[in-house]
Amino acid sequence: MLDTNANIGCLDDFPRARLSVGQTPLEYMENLSRAVGGGSLYVKRDDCNGLAFGGNKVRQLEFYLGEALAEGADTIMMTGAVQSNFVRTAAAACRKLGLDCHAQLEERVNRQDMEYRENGNVLLNHLLGATVHSYPDGEDEAGADHNLHVIANGLRENGRHPYIVPMSPDHKPLGALGYVIAAQELLQQIDEDGISIDEIVVPAGSGNTYAGLLFGLRALGSDIRVTGVCVRRNIQDQYPRMQTRFKQIAALLDMCSRVTDDDIHLVDDYLAPGYGHSGQDAFAAIFLGAHHEALMLDPCYMGKTMAAMLDRAVAGKADKKNVLMFHTGGSPALFGYGEAYRAEGQTLTGRLSDNKWGLDVASPIPRH
């Protein structure tokens, strides 16, 4: 029997800024489960995590900002894509904690339309009072971090005390600790609800969410399979980053990792046409999530993750496989992709009934 209340290493020793609403809902997706006709589908609603439209970054920022406050910082600095959920959530957290926010937006997605450049998370960053900087290269993590340090030095010369959340993979992954806690929370909910889960699907970008969740589950004795859906890098590039991430988490918590290489399951079937863009399957999954469960899924992370979930649900239909998806948020980005949705919708909505999973969206599915 799992001890879901067990202490995980020295987790309680880390400073933590309380930003989340606490336990997020675990919901049964009745309509999609009925449509697939096999096992049961569930969603862990981290999009309901309270702070400025929620999302997985709330859990992560509790530990970065906890350290920042402990060090006496008055300004938080980070880099993200133009429609970054991390930047938006960090700006909101800074408002709550009385800190300034300097956000460096990098050109990671080749989109120049006004909706992408000015709406969605971009609009929220301005409403939240973030100071926005630009960086021209979207694939230069070391360069982006260096440029943040240059800006930080200027702030120090003016008497400020900045704290930088770096991008490069060699920094300590404090954000992953938020999902070590989420693993414990999830296991408690599963136990209380009396359900079983065969597989969890979660987006894998920076890897903090995926790595923290899998590390926490294994530390607590759970062998649930966790599949990371690659949303930025292919498996060849992401796999070694994840291997390193588990070692870093173990070092942070001063404990041995129970995650083996065989535990690391990544898929990049949904990555094309690249970060910040969606292929046909991801767009179809976004429409199906909305039609069946009123779930708002963004094209960067959650559309691809829903597509992966549906593939696993359909493949495991005969075995009545139970699959859970972590909804990591990102709904504000929907408003930055209106042009893409309209363009895709013209060709997609007419053939949704022919989607690869055979799910009907022409009319609501009868309950009886």
Q: What is the DSSP string of 34-75?
A: HHHTSS-EEEEEGGGSSGGG--THHHHHHHHHHHHHHTT--E
pTM of the model: 0.94
* CATH number of this structure's domain 11-54+173-354: 3.40.50.1100
**Catalytic positions, written as ranges:** 84
CATH T-level assignment (fold) for domain 57-165: Rossmann fold (3.40.50)
11-54+173-354 and 57-165 share one CATH topology?
Answer: yes
Q: Calculate the alpha carbon distances from 9 to 4, 90, 224 in Å.
A: 14, 27, 20
| Predicted confidence pLDDT, tens digits, the chain (368 residues) | 577 778 899 999 999 999 998 899 999 999 999 999 889 999 999 999 999 999 999 999 999 999 999 999 999 999 999 999 999 999 999 999 999 999 999 999 988 888 899 999 999 999 999 999 999 998 899 999 999 999 999 999 999 999 999 998 889 999 999 999 999 999 999 999 999 999 999 999 999 999 999 999 999 999 999 999 999 999 999 999 999 999 999 999 999 999 999 999 999 999 999 999 888 899 889 989 998 999 999 999 999 999 999 999 999 888 999 999 999 999 999 899 887 777 665 555 545 656 788 887 654 444 54
Domain range annotation of the chain: 11-54+173-354, 57-165
The DSSP element (H or E) to which 323 belongs, if any, is strand 323-327
